[in-house]
Each structure stands twice: as structure tokens, then as C-alpha cells.
Amino acid sequence: MNKRYGETADKAWRSFVIYLPYVWLLLFFLTPFLIVFKISFSDPVIAQPPFTPLFDWARNGMGAVYITFDNFLFLFEDDLYWMSYLKSVRVAAFSTLCCLLIGYPMAYAIARADTTTRNILLLLVILPFWTSFLLRVYAWMGMLSTNGLINKGLLSLGFIDEPMKLLYTDFAVYLGIVYSYLPFMILPLYATLQKLDLSIHEAASDLGATPFRVFIDITLPMSVTGIIAGCLLVFIPAIGEYVIPTLLGGEDSLMIGRQLFNEFFENRDWPVASAVATILLFILVIPIMLFQRYQITAGTNANE
């Protein structure tokens, strides 16, 4: 009897632990999203809240539903939004690629370093997080400005005759994003590379593979999960990035995060802003689903 009771308690505990994250996601992710999704089908009004209700009980004592697709149609008609989406995807993708190219060798070096050096290097990777993100971006503004550290340095060394325009350019946006999100690339890559069995590398070398071939044939394919995880962790936040393009980018660097901010706070057009957010979410869901599928196939392969 006692044992059976213990088993049920065990089961209850187990399902509690399993479903807790789902409840969390439901409450704090799905519900807010549904609210945003709902608003995207309303009309903007000057009122509190600034959109028309979707359900109306007042007329004829019957419930009525008002849905408008105007907001989405508006997004499709105005190229400004399309350009912003495209620009965001382009900036995020290119920044992700830069992070990968810089982060992979760094992660590899950390994974191959001896324990003491490794811990110091890992600490250095995480260290920037101890300062406020905003502060770090402001620091870049100081360095990139016309009278900033970089221009002054180059001028005094005689490499340039007049200050370059660094701040408020696309270059500054890329620099800011790559700088800010590099740790998110390095950490998952490090976790994967650090687990790789050195004897497998040695076996390839023993069979006649030069160090470069060992990297291409063994290291790279065996760290695909780390590469994908790192790329997602950089790409997803980078695509909706608001602070960096606003502070470092030029007037024309209209990324979707900035567009979203404008709709919400400057135009006070919540329904259009919600539509922008909804489409952004769908754009982001695609790469996540691809990764999920890759992991599932890799998982079933391992379990066969």
C-alpha cells in the first residue's frame, strides 16, 4: 500500500516537473503572444486602450466579432516594412556569420587550452556581461565618433588625414551586434568542442589526414549542433535588435526592431505594431523549427 502511494506521489511529482515549464511558457509566452496576435486584427483608435475591441456584446444583445486584416495588408503594401524585414534578416545573418568565423577559432582555442587557462579565457568571454549592455553600446559610440578614440588614434599615427565616419553607419551596427552577441556564439561552440574525443582526431591524423583535413572531416561535422545552437542564439536576438541600430546606426538603417518601436511609441498604432511583431515571430520560428528537426533526426540516429 505504502509503496503504491509512493509510486503515485512519484508520478505526480514527475508530471509536475515535466509540465511546469509548459505552464510557464503558456503563461508568459503564449498568452502575451495571443494578446499581441489579437490586437493585430483590430483598428487603431484614440482611446484607452488604443485599439478597437475584437468582441462586442453591446449591439442587439448579440455577440459580434470584428476582425480586420488591414494591418497586415498595410504591411504588405508599404515597402518600408518589407525593406526593414529584409534589412534585419541581412544584418542578422551577416552578423551571425561574422560571429561564427570569429567565435569558432576562439571556442576551439578555449576547448584545447589547459584547465587553468581555459577557466580564465571563459571568464574573459563572460566578463562583458557584468557591465550594462547599454553602457557598452554607449562606450562604442564614444570610440567610433568623429572625435573618438579610433579616429584620434589613426590620425595621430598618420594613417588617415581626416576623421572617418564610423558612427551612424552600417559598419557600426555590424560591429555592435558582433561584439555584443559573440559570447552567445562562443559558449555553445565551446561546450560542443570541449566534449570531442581527441583520440578520434588522432585516428584521422594516423590514417593520413593533414591537420586541415582533420578539421574539415572530423572537427567540423562533429560540432554541427554547437554551430547551429550558436547561430540561433545570435541570429534570433540580432534580428529584432533595437538598441544597437538606434544608437550606432544611421538614419537609413531601418531595422525591424526600430520600426516596431516607432509604431508603438511614436505613431501609437498598436495594431500595426502587433502585426509587425507577429510576422517577425513567424520569420524566427522557421530557423528554430529547422534546428529542432535536425536535432530530432540526429537523436533518432543515435537511438537506433
Partner 1 sequence: MTIPMNEKIDNLQDDATTGNAQTENRHDSKAQPFIRIENLSKQFDGVAVVDSVNLDIYRGELFAILGSSGCGKTTLLRMLAGFETPSTGRVVIDGIDITGLPPYQRPVNMMVQSYAVFPHMTVEKNVAYGLKKEGVDKTRIGEQVAQILSLVQLSGYEKRKPHQLSGGQLQRVALARALVKKPKVLLLDEPLAALDKKLRERTQFELMNIQDELGITFVVVTHDQEEAMNLATRIAVMDDGRFVQTGTPTHVYEYPTNRFVADFVGTTNMFEGTVSQIANEHLLIDTGDFGVIKASPTPGVNEGNQVWLAVRPEKITISKESITSETTTCIKGVVTDLGYYGNRTIYRVTTETSAVIEISAQNQFRASEPILDSEDEVFVSWDLANSIVLKE
Q: Judging by beta carbons within 10 Å of its beta carbon (0-12, 13-18, 19+), is residue 62 exposed, middle or buried?
A: exposed
Residue bearing cell 516607432: 262
Q: What are the backbone dihedrals phi and psi of residue 61, each rounded to the nearest 5 degrees, phi first?
A: 65, 10
Phi and psi angles of residue 56, each rounded to the nearest 5 degrees, phi first: -130, 120
CB nearer to partner 1: pick between 43 and 217 = 217
d(CA 175, CA 160): 20
Taking CB atoms within 8 Å and a gap of at least 24, the contacts of 251-255 are 251/168, 253/87, 253/170, 253/173, 254/80, 254/83, 254/84, 254/87, 255/84, 255/87, 255/88, 255/91, 255/173
Q: Tell the smallest beta-carbon distance from residue 200 to partner 1 (Å).
A: 5
Query: Taking a C-beta distance cutoff of 8 angstroms, is the pair 238, 95 a contact?
Result: yes
Q: Which window, 161-169, 182-190, 217-225, 260-268, contacts partner 1 (CB under 8 A)? A: 217-225
**What's the min distance (Å) between Cβ of 235 and partner 1?**
24
Task: Pick the binder of partner 1 from 12, 126, 203, 281 (CB under 8 A).
Answer: 203
Please identify, using beta-carbon distances, which residue of 128 and 211 lies nearer to partner 1: 211
> Looking at 77, 78, 202, 252, which residue binds partner 1 (CB under 8 A)?
202
The H or E element containing residue 64 is: strand 64-65
Choose the binding region for partner 1 from 28-36, 120-128, 218-226, 228-236 (rule: CB under 8 A).
218-226
Among 25, 34, 101, 207, which residue interacts with partner 1 (rule: CB under 8 A)? 207
Among 158, 199, 251, 300, which residue interacts with partner 1 (rule: CB under 8 A)? 199
Q: Quick check: 210 binds partner 1 (CB under 8 A)?
A: yes
Ranges within 284-303 binding partner 1 (CB under 8 A): 301-302
The residue among 205 and 246 lying less far from partner 1, judged by its C-beta, is 205
Residue of the chain from 6, 197, 252, 292 that contacts partner 1 (CB under 8 A): 197
State the number of binding residues for partner 1 (CB under 8 A): 20
Which one, 61 or 221, has the nearer CB to partner 1?
Answer: 221
Q: Which of 54, 121, 164, 209 binds partner 1 (CB under 8 A)?
A: 209
Among 195, 213, 268, 293, the residue binding partner 1 under the rule CB under 8 A is 213
Return d(Cα 53, Cα 19) in angstroms, integer: 33
Which triple of cell numbers denotes residue 293? Answer: 528537426
203 vs 290, beta carbon nearer partner 1:
203
Query: Binding partner 1 by CB under 8 A: which of 114, 161, 206, 266?
Result: 206
CA distance 88 to 91: 5
Residue 49, preceding peptide bond in cis (omega within 30° of 0):
yes
Exposure letters 208-240 (e unless 16+ CB within 10 A, then b):
ebeeeebeeebbeebbebbbbbbbbbbbbbbbb
Q: How far is the CB of 120 from partner 1 (least distance, A)?
A: 21
Query: Can you give the binding site for partner 1, defined by CB under 8 A?
Result: 197, 199-200, 202-210, 213, 217-218, 221-222, 301-302, 304
